[in-house]
């Protein structure tokens, strides 16, 4: 019988996507997945490096998993992904009991390493940015194993060339490489044929996608026209690369959902400059105005970092001001943490931890109020949702998302999984809408 693999994933959508595809690759090599680490022959952690907290969690899990290896030395312990790439041999020095360290572009070589298990730890990571290579990863025609069959991520690019000063991604995921358009289309079509209703096209900066003469707006058009997928989402958008052509396409293409994740990071021009973001708060607000004017009922989400080196109270106030002006539907909010090797690591991390936390709680509170107000405005309105989960507590309750990426709970006696249903919103809080099924869609883009 093939070996059993336990796989735990940390971090962003790209890691989730890599892990899902890895599961497909493992299955094709007669390796099975187990949900119980105590049961596994191979324990794999697909790790994230973007913030210190994510790394600390993975390191904590690793020392927990060490106990399985102490009980049974045959168990193979593998660290994969961004932390593996960032720390490489340092990880082995810290944890000499590891068997394998695999960078994000080496992760699919796992089955080969499992077959040839050695008695010393192997470190397979990229030595330099020139070393990153994902041609083989793109080419695989494997429908990824997913949490739900009705939605899927599809990678359109890997890596990043933006070098925002706080960010480790360009170092651990390598240069930006764009996936050939025909591979994207065929993966989306394969997913659609297997019953998937919605794809999210993912990349660190989807707006800078280019393949031959095609840009991201052209890609959206092709996925819209040439596949049977019903809804198309995409993330992450970088404000400096979001063109008017793209805004027009999002507005016009019937399958493309009306939601843009557009990280602001800071509302202060001084901080944005030090972050190397390539736009001012004025540019950002102008862009938001164009988006809102062009795309009907659009929703916007964002990422915010507080406590970046040298961020003063006045800088922080500017972030609050932009948040109030834009009225984001939701936000991911973080306090700055130093990432070794980045440009910002050489800046003095001068905002005290306590102050970073105060600013973080302030933005969280503001966003909660804004989200609550915006969501309550939706009560009485009607939306389509794609149902992708059954409630664990009540089997007559279902969870889905609107095209604008809002979570809706709806009641239903029959199985709604995978259905696109029309719901009228009855109640709302800052995070969730509660609705009931109806037949009358208020406003739905039609083909
Ligand atoms: N500290 C805090 N937040 C960070 N992010 C990236 N790097 C850091 C860091 N060093 C946040 C940004 C990014 C999101 C994925 O993580 O907001 O958009
Ligand atoms: Fe990091 Fe900036 Fe690239 Fe996003 S765009 S991955 S924040 S460097």
Chain segment 169-198, per-residue pLDDT in tens: 999 999 999 999 999 999 999 999 999 999
Q: Which ligand is nearest to the CA of 240?
A: 2
Band (445; pLDDT cuts 50, 70, 90): low
Task: Quickly state the pLDDT bin for 1 (edges 50, 70, 90).
Answer: low
pLDDT at 330: 98
Hey, how many other C-beta atoms are within 10 angstroms of the C-beta on 353?
10
Tens of pLDDT, residue by residue over 252-287, are 999 999 999 999 999 999 999 999 999 999 999 999
Would you state the torsion angle of the CA atoms of residues 178, 180, 184, 189, taken in this order, to the nearest 10 degrees? 180
pLDDT on residue 121: 86
d(CA 164, CA 334): 15
Confidence of residue 127 (pLDDT cuts 50, 70, 90): confident
Cα angle for residues 99, 105, 108 (degrees, 5° grid)? 65
Token digits of residue 279: 């736009």
Lining ligand 1 with CB less than 6 A are 50-51, 166-167, 263, 265, 303, 305, 334, 336-337, 339
Q: Cα(164) to centroid of ligand 2, in Å? A: 6
User: For residue 133, what pLDDT band results from cuts at 50, 70 and 90?
Assistant: confident
Ligand 2 centroid to 378 CA: how many Å? 33
- The whole-angstrom separation of Cα 307 and Cα 129 is 29
Q: What is the pTM of this model?
A: 0.94
Using the structure block, give the residue that is written with the tokens 């095209």.
403
State both tokens at 19: 């892990």
Please return the burial class of 222, using the count of CB atoms within 10 Å of its CB with bins 0-12, 13-18 and 19+: middle
Query: What is the whole-number distance in angstroms between the Cα of residue 14 and the centre of ligand 2?
Result: 13
* Mean predicted confidence (pLDDT) in 5-24: 93
User: Is 241 strand, coil or helix?
Assistant: helix
Pocket of ligand 2 (CB under 6 A): 160, 162-164, 167, 169-170, 204-205, 238
> How far apart are alpha carbons 71 and 79 in whole angstroms?
19
Mean pLDDT in the chain?
93
Residues 72 and 64: their CA atoms lie apart, in Å, by 14
| Ligand located closest to 52 CA | 1
State the pLDDT at residue 426.
97
> CA 267 to CA 320: how far, in whole Å?
7
- Can you tell me which residue has the tokens 């659009």? 298
Q: Is the pLDDT reported for residue 447 higher than 50? A: no
DSSP string, 49-103: -SSHHHHHHHHHHHHHHHHHHHH-TT-EEEEEEHHHHHHTHHHHHH-TT--EEE-
Rounded to the nearest whole angstrom, what is the distance from the C-alpha of residue 402 to the centroid of ligand 1?
A: 26
What pLDDT is attached to residue 444?
54
pLDDT band for 115, please (50, 70, 90 cuts): confident
Confidence of residue 136 (pLDDT cuts 50, 70, 90): confident
Separation between Cα atoms, residue 417 and residue 441, nearest integer Å: 19
Give phi and psi for 155, each to the nearest 5: -75, 135
Q: Nearest ligand to the C-alpha of residue 356?
A: 1
């Amino acid at each position: 019988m093939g070996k059993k693999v336990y796989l735990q994933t940390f971090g962003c959508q790209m890691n989730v996507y890599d892990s899902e595809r890895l599961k497909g690759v493992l299955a094709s090599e007669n390796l099975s997945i187990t949900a119980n680490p105590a049961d596994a022959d191979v324990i794999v952690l697909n790790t994230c490096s973007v913030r210190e907290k994510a790394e600390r969690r993975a390191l904590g899990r690793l020392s927990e998993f060490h106990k399985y290896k102490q009980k049974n030395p045959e168990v193979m312990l593998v660290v994969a992904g961004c932390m593996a790439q960032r720390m490489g041999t340092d990880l082995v020095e810290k944890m000499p009991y590891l068997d394998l360290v695999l960078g994000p572009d080496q992760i699919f070589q796992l089955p080969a390493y499992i077959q040839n298990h050695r008695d010393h730890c192997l470190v397979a990571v990229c030595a330099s940015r020139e070393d990153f290579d994902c041609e083989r990863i793109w080419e695989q025609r494997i429908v990824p194993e997913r949490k739900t069959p009705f939605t899927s991520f599809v990678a359109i690019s890997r890596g990043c060339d933006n070098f925002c000063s706080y960010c480790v991604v360009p170092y651990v995921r390598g240069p930006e490489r764009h996936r050939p358009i025909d591979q994207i289309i065929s993966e989306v079509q394969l997913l659609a044929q297997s019953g998937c209703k919605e794809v999210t096209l993912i990349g660190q900066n989807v707006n800078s996608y280019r393949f031959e003469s095609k840009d991201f707006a052209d890609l959206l058009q092709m996925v819209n026209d040439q596949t049977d997928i019903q809804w198309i989402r995409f993330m992450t958008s970088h404000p400096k690369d979001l063109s008017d052509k793209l805004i027009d396409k999002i507005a016009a293409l019937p399958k493309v959902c009306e939601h843009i994740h557009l990280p602001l990071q800071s509302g202060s021009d001084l901080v944005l400059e030090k972050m190397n973001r390539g736009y001012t708060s004025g540019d950002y607000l102008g862009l938001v105005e164009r988006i809102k004017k062009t795309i009907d009922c659009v929703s916007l989400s964002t990422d915010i970092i507080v406590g970046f080196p040298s961020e003063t109270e006045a800088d922080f106030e500017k972030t609050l001001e932009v948040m109030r002006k834009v009225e984001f539907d939701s936000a991911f909010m973080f306090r700055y943490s130093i990432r070794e090797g980045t440009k910002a690591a050489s800046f003095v991390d001068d905002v005290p931890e306590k102050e970073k936390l105060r600013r973080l709680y302030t933005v969280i509170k503001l966003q909660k109020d804004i989200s609550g107000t915006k969501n309550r405005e939706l009560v009485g309105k009607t939306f389509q949702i794609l149902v992708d989960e059954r409630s664990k507590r009540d089997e007559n309750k279902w969870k889905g998302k609107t095209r604008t990426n809002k979570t809706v709970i709806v009641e239903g006696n029959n199985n709604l999984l995978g259905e696109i249903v029309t719901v009228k919103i009855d109640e709302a809080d800052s995070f969730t809408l509660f609705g009931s099924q109806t037949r009358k869609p208020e406003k739905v883009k039609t083909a």
